[in-house]
């Protein structure tokens, strides 16, 4: 993320308008301009009236990362202080959300590592941003149940492989390319059914709670976003709807992140949305291959 709406209220539209960056600010960020001492501000919440707020991207870590050694203690003896923190040096045009997408991190982790919050998002060229990546929790070993066919046994949803299997099977059943659904799920949550973004998006597909009713309408049955299977069904139902209503696949992918309303009213994609679309398409190619 994150992190279209069949039913838009006037209240939601007004709230969205207050949050969307003005065209001048957006153009400045996209062209890499700096605002001097005032720094650059990012959007604290991704506008999504018609789609979701995606969760964190789990992109591969780029190679151009500066590493600072961790200072040892004062005893004169070499101490094991753990791995050195990864550092990103801010350049003109950077925002915290773009940095999070670039390194595949959750924006909340960036905030926590640098003592920032939604009310403190100013960064300046030359500033060093810590990139703390939490160690992944090891999934308990599971003994796979014997199968006689693809759907002969329920997938084990305690591990990544089981979630991936359910995403692919659900997408196939709903007429969506399984590789595309897998790309979204990996981008959004890294196949973590318990993921919750700082904006409140839930589960594997990072669906916002206010989209639950809409997703249920699209799926044709009531859905519970806290249930792993229903969460995946909700996300894929929205992907299917966006593919059916968007002029091309890139716009559909962008709408899952930025919202179809946001894409339409802004007249295109935010800079961070372009990064998101490129990342999803890269994952799509991986799963399709």
Within 8 A by CB and 6+ apart from 197, the residues are 1, 2, 3, 53, 54, 55, 56, 106, 107, 108, 206
Kindly report, residue by residue over 23-35, the tens digit of the pLDDT.
Answer: 434 334 444 444 4
Query: How many residues in total does the chain contain?
Result: 289
Share of the chain above pLDDT 70, in %: 61
pTM above 0.75, yes or no: no
Kindly report, residue by residue over 224-269, the tens digit of the pLDDT.
Answer: 999 999 999 999 999 999 999 999 999 999 999 999 999 999 989 9
Calculate the average pLDDT of the chain: 73
128 is written with which tokens?
Answer: 């060093």
């Amino acid at each position: 993320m994150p992190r279209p709406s069949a039913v838009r209220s006037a209240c939601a539209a007004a709230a969205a308008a207050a949050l969307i960056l003005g065209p001048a600010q957006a153009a400045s960020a996209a062209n890499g301009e700096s605002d001097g001492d005032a720094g650059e501000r990012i959007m604290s919440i991704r506008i999504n009236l018609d789609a979701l707020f995606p969760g964190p991207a789990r992109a591969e870590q780029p190679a151009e990362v500066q590493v600072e050694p961790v200072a040892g203690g004062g005893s004169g003896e070499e101490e094991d202080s753990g791995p050195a923190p990864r550092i990103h040096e801010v350049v003109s045009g950077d925002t915290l959300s773009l940095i999070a997408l670039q390194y595949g991190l959750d924006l909340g982790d960036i905030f926590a590592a640098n003592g920032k919050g939604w009310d403190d998002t100013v960064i300046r060229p030359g500033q060093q941003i810590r990139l703390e990546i939490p160690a992944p929790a090891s999934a308990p070993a599971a003994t796979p149940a014997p199968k006689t066919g693809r759907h002969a046994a329920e997938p084990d949803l305690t591990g990544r492989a089981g979630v991936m299997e359910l995403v692919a099977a659900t997408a196939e059943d709903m007429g969506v390319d399984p590789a595309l659904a897998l790309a979204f799920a990996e981008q959004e949550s890294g196949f973590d059914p318990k993921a919750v973004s700082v904006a409140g998006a839930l589960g594997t597909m990072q669906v916002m709670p206010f989209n639950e009713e809409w997703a249920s309408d699209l799926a044709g049955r009531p859905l519970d976003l806290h249930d792993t299977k229903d969460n995946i069904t909700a996300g894929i139902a929205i992907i299917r709807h966006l593919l059916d209503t968007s002029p091309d696949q890139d716009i559909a992918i962008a709408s899952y992140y930025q919202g179809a309303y946001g894409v339409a009213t802004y007249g295109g994609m935010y800079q961070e949305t372009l990064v998101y679309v490129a990342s999803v398409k890269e994952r799509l190619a991986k799963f399709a291959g």
